[in-house]
Amino acid sequence: MGPEVLVMYYVYILKLSNGSLYTGFTSDPVKRIRYHNRGSVPHTSKFLPVKLIYYAAFTSERRAFEFEDYLKSGSGKAFRNKRLV
């Protein structure tokens, strides 16, 4: 049996070319940012290029998803604007 591979999950915030912010979730942030900048994500495709301005890493997929969900809520947006960006 080989060594256990630790998979990380990331919540990220992008700044779009129009100044707005986009919050997402991925297990491969480099690939995902490239995907955004290729115009492959409908929500961000009209506001290229995008710039990574924040990310947080989690060992639990569930916790990462919950944090992303929180950052998309009203209180989460207030927290994001005051503490993260």
Domain definitions of the chain by residue range: 9-79
| This model's pTM is above 0.85 | yes
pLDDT in tens, 8-33: 999 999 999 999 999 999 999 999 99
CATH class, domain 9-79, is alpha beta
Q: Supply the Cα-derived Rg of the chain in whole angstroms.
A: 14
* Of the candidates 31, 37, 26, 33, the residue with the CA atom closest to the CA atom of residue 67: 26
Tell me: the pLDDT tens digits for 22-72? 999 999 999 999 999 999 999 999 999 999 999 999 999 999 999 999 999
pLDDT(3) > 90? no
Q: For residues 63 and 34, give the distance between their C-alpha atoms in angstroms, rounded to a whole number.
A: 24
Q: Please give the pLDDT value at position 1.
A: 64
Instruction: State residue 4's pLDDT score.
Output: 82
Per-residue b/e over 22-34, b at no fewer than 16 CB within 10 Å? Answer: bbbbbeebeebbe
